[in-house]
Structure formats: structure tokens, C-alpha cells
Amino acid sequence: MKHGIKIVTIGGGSSYTPELMEGFIKRYPELPVREIWLVDVENGKEKVEIDAKMAKRMWKKAGYDVQIYTTMDRKKALQDADFVTTQFRVGFLEARIKDERIPLSYGMLGQETNGAGGIFKAFRTIPVILEIVKDMKEVCPNAWLINFTNPSGMVTEAVIRYGHWDKVIGLCNVPVIAMMKEPEAIKKSPQDLIYQFVGINHFHWHKVYDRNGKELTQNVIDALFEGKDIGLPANITNVPFFKEQIEQMQMIPCGYHRYYYRQEEMLAHSLEEYETLGTRGQQVKQTEERLFSLYKDPELDYKPDELSMRGGAYYSDAACECINSIYNDKKTHMVVSTKNRGAIPELPEDCVVEVSSIITGKGAMPIAWGKLPSAQRGWIQCMKAMEECTIEAAVTGNYGLALEAFALNPLIPAGQSAKNVLDELLIAHENYLPQFQAKIASLKAQGIQIKDPVVAKLVEEGK
């Protein structure tokens, strides 16, 4: 790591890259980056070049001597990397649109990290992340992998369990936003509060205390039901929780819990968007196009405000903070996806959980939570099992296990429609699912057609 840090960003052509740059620039005095490699695939070349130019302008403005490289040759980029961040999206936003629209065409939720969509994002991403780990073992065996490709928890678990790579931390912006917004909602400053989070990615709860150890969880619950913003990600509709339920649990759910605690309304909202202005992926596609047209402006040398409107805001900043904490052994409190180690004693000791952790020079040290009440325990055990089936199916291409994951997923009502969704998604994502090739061929031979016209067109166009 002499003469500064080498960062490699897989999926460098993401619209979040300027946020990442901003995060590194802000921390440069303590985090001396030497070079940043933006890696992408051939189809992402245009965007990564735009990002790279924008990045160069941002660094130039900041006055730091940091080199920005772009390449389609991942292994070359990884050579001697210190930190590898992953923000790639296999199949681009078109894949997300498929993940959303096919389930919705059968009347079920198709969110990109929850429901059938999340399962398929795992199916596409896990084989790629395992290839990245394979490369890292060869050319940068001491590097840290900071993943923020979703589904972040499952991707991180795949890296540890199947990639046998322990130097990995999975990130999520949801806890970041909560800890940013809640203090205001209860009229406290962030440094006055003690947080403890427990759960798995996009499925965690937390409690809050003041510096005297007095629990303020109920205060946040009150603020929530008074309509205050306690950190709902931009991509999640604000359906209210049931007050009696949240007060009974005395824990603050995350925004994504709406999909589980208010499934009916969240589905209705998604169906409405599906039938009118298009799914979130379709909306984001437009946002992204706007963003890249902004980025192209040779005068723009700072992160535009529009970026914050995306659901993933602060993800990249969290990545920079995490890298900073590792590099400087800052022992910061962050909520990350890491190996359980007993922190949630009722989940397997070696699975990945998302909990309050201390980020040190040796990585994340998870804080033990202890036993959960029945309901939270049951939910999280169910979700973890669903993740395990998904990850194993992603690695093996086992169709029966994919059916098991679908059946276990609380957002997918099991039955013929669910099977149709599974089958259509396999066909729609054919190009990115080598592990399922035999099954896909057999499904196509059966003449299975994709019902949703938007997706059918995308597939026809080879996207």
C-alpha cells in the first residue's frame, strides 16, 4: 500500500460513481488514494468513460493528484488492488425491469431485492462475484472487497461461503439513512444517540438510546406515526405500519419491512405503477439517462443533487467511510453485512447478517445482540433460509431449490403463477444465467412465452 491506496471499482460505469468520488475526495486527508480503476463490461463502456471524465474533473477541482483509469480488463485492474468495491449490475437496468415486470404481470411483487426480483438478481450476480473473488485470490490476495451490489447480504454470504474469501464487507444505505434522519425527527443530534441494529440486509430492526442509556425507541416510533421522515429510502412508498404491531415489538423496522408488514398495499402500489408510469426500474432508467446527460457536461465537477433522489443514495459514501475505517482502524460503528459469529444466536453461526459492527483494521467486528422475540426470530430465520436456498441455487443451478426459495419467500404466493414467474424469469435472463442453461433450454422447448409485452420486447431485442 506504499505511495497511496489503489481502489478498483467493478461496475465503474454506474451513475453512483460521482458520489463515490465525492466520498473519497472528502476523506482524502486521511485516506490517501493514489489511483482509482473503473472497471466495466463492453456494454457499459460509454457510461464508464463519462464517469471517468467526470471523476477526473472532480479530483482536479479538489486539487489532489489521483489517477483515474478505465478498463474492460478486470483482472488487469485488480492487480495489487488495496480495496475493491463492487457496484455492478448484471444485465443493466433492463434486467431490473424484467425482475419487476414479470412478477407484476402475475400480480405479485417484483422488487429488485425482495420477492422474485431479488432472487433473480442474486442468481445473476453471484456467479459473477465468485469470478471476481477468483481473480482477487490470484492478483490481489490482500485486498478488501467492499460490496454494494444488491442483494448485498446474499452476495456477501456467497463470497464467504462459496468463495471462501473472508475479507469482505457488505454495505447498505438503509441504516445510514435511518441514523441520518431519525435524530432530527426526535430532536436530537446524531452524536447524542446510541444505535443498535439487528437483522439481515433489507430486513433489520433497530433500537435507539440516548447517551445516558435511556431507550428512545418509542420516541422514534412516535415520530414515525406523527409522519416524520425517519429515513425512508427514496424507492419505497410510504405506506404506514400498524401502530399496535410496532409498539408491541418495541423495535424500529426498516423501510423494506413495509413489503412484509403491509404486503397488500405495497403490492397494490407496485401494480399501479406497473400499469401506469412504469416500474421503479423504468423510472430509474430515465433518472439515469438524465444523470448521464448531466455528467457529460464538461463543466460539471461536482455530484449533482439529482443523484440523491435515487434509492441508493449514500451507498457509495458508506463505502468510502468503511474503507476509511479499515485503512485507519477507526473503530467506527457501522451497520454492515458480515459473518454472524453468534451476534444473532438463533441464526447459523457462519451465515451473513447485517448488524451493528465496529469497523477496524481487521474488518467488521459484529456486536452480539442476543435472543430476539418470537416474531422477529421467526421472520429472520425464514428469510435467512430463503437466502440460503437462493444462494445455493445460484451456485448450482438447481431448479428444485429455486422453487423452494420461491415458496419460502413471503412475497411470493406459491402455486402455478409463481412457477410461471420463475420460468419466464429464467428465459428472460437467459444470457446471464449460465448455471441454469439446461433448464432454460428445456423451458424454451416447451414453448413458454413471456406474458409481459415490455419484457417480451426486451428479450426479443436481445437485451
Residues 158-187 that bind a second copy (CB under 8 A): 167
Question: What does the alpha-carbon distance between residue 413 and residue 426 come to, in Å, rounded to a whole number?
Answer: 18
Which residue of 30, 374, 446, 461 would you call a contact of a second copy, by CB under 8 A?
A: 374
Nearest-angstrom CA–CA distance, 38 and 14: 10
Cα 306 to its chain centre, rounded Å, is 20
C-alpha cell at 410: 413471503
How long, in residues, is the chain? 463
Of the listed pieces 12-20, 118-126, 226-234, 240-248, which binds a second copy according to CB under 8 A? 240-248
Regarding 341 and contact with a second copy (CB under 8 A), the answer is: yes
Question: Which of 329, 437, 441, 453 touches a second copy by CB under 8 A?
Answer: 329
Contact status: 441 vs a second copy (CB under 8 A): no
Site map for a second copy, 276-295, x if CB under 8 A?
Answer: --------------------
Give the burial class of 129: count Cβ atoms within 10 A of its Cβ; 0-12 exposed, 13-18 middle, 19 or more buried: buried
Continuous segment of H or E residues that includes residue 95: helix 92-105
Contact flag: residue 345 with a second copy (CB under 8 A): yes
- Candidates 60-68, 168-176, 243-251, 280-288: pick the segment binding a second copy (CB under 8 A): 243-251
Q: Shortest approach of a second copy to residue 228 CB, angstroms?
A: 21
Contact 251, 197 (CB under 8 A): no
Selected from 370, 437, 449, 457, the binder of a second copy by CB under 8 A is 370
Annotate each residue in 307-326 with x if it binds a second copy (CB under 8 A) or - if it does not, as one string: -------------------x
Judge whether 320 and 26 are in contact, CB under 8 Å. yes
Give every CB contact of residue 396 below 8 A, 6+ residues apart in sequence: 435
Which residue among 217, 363, 421, 428 contacts a second copy (CB under 8 A)? 363
269 interacts with a second copy by CB under 8 A = no
Cα distances from 460 to residues 75, 97, 449, in angstroms, run 32, 14, 11
Q: Which helix (H) or strand (E) holds 71?
A: strand 67-71
Residue among 162, 195, 256, 274 flagged as catalytic: 256
Q: Is residue 185 classed as helix, strand or coil in its secondary structure?
A: helix
- Using the rule CB under 8 A, give the single segment among 256-264, 281-289, 304-312, 454-462 that binds a second copy: 256-264
> Residue 417 CB, nearest distance to a second copy (Å)?
6
Measured between alpha carbons, how far is 57 from 18 in angstroms, rounded to an integer?
10
Q: Is 349 in the site for a second copy (CB under 8 A)?
A: yes
The set of residues, in sequence order, having a beta carbon less than 8 Å from that of 340 and lying 6+ positions away, is 347, 348, 349, 350, 351, 352, 353, 366
Q: Which stretch binds a second copy (CB under 8 A): 120-128, 132-140, 308-316, 382-390?
A: 382-390
Whether 196 and 213 have beta carbons less than 8 Å apart is answered as no
DSSP 273-300: HHHTT--HHHHHHHHHHHHHHHHT-TT-
The closest alpha carbon to 169, from 160, 178, 182, belongs to 160
- Known active-site residue 256: yes
**Residue number with CB closer to a second copy (95 or 133):** 133
Residue 407 binding a second copy, by CB under 8 A: yes
Q: In this chain, which stretch among 114-122, 149-157, 312-320, 352-360 interacts with a second copy, using CB under 8 A?
A: 352-360
Is the CB of 197 or the CB of 295 nearer to a second copy?
A: 197
Instruction: For the segment 73-102, give every residue that binds a second copy (CB under 8 A).
Output: none
Q: How many residues bind a second copy (CB under 8 A)?
A: 82
Taking CB under 8 A as the binding criterion, the range among 33-41, 48-56, 112-120, 373-381 that sits at the site for a second copy is: 373-381
Interaction between residue 137 and a second copy (CB under 8 A): no
First-to-final CA distance of the chain: 40
Contact between 418 and a second copy per CB under 8 A: yes
Identify the residue among 382, 444, 448, 451 touching a second copy (CB under 8 A).
Answer: 382
446 binds a second copy (CB under 8 A): no
* DSSP bridge partners of 253: 205
Task: Please identify every residue annotated as catalytic.
Answer: 256
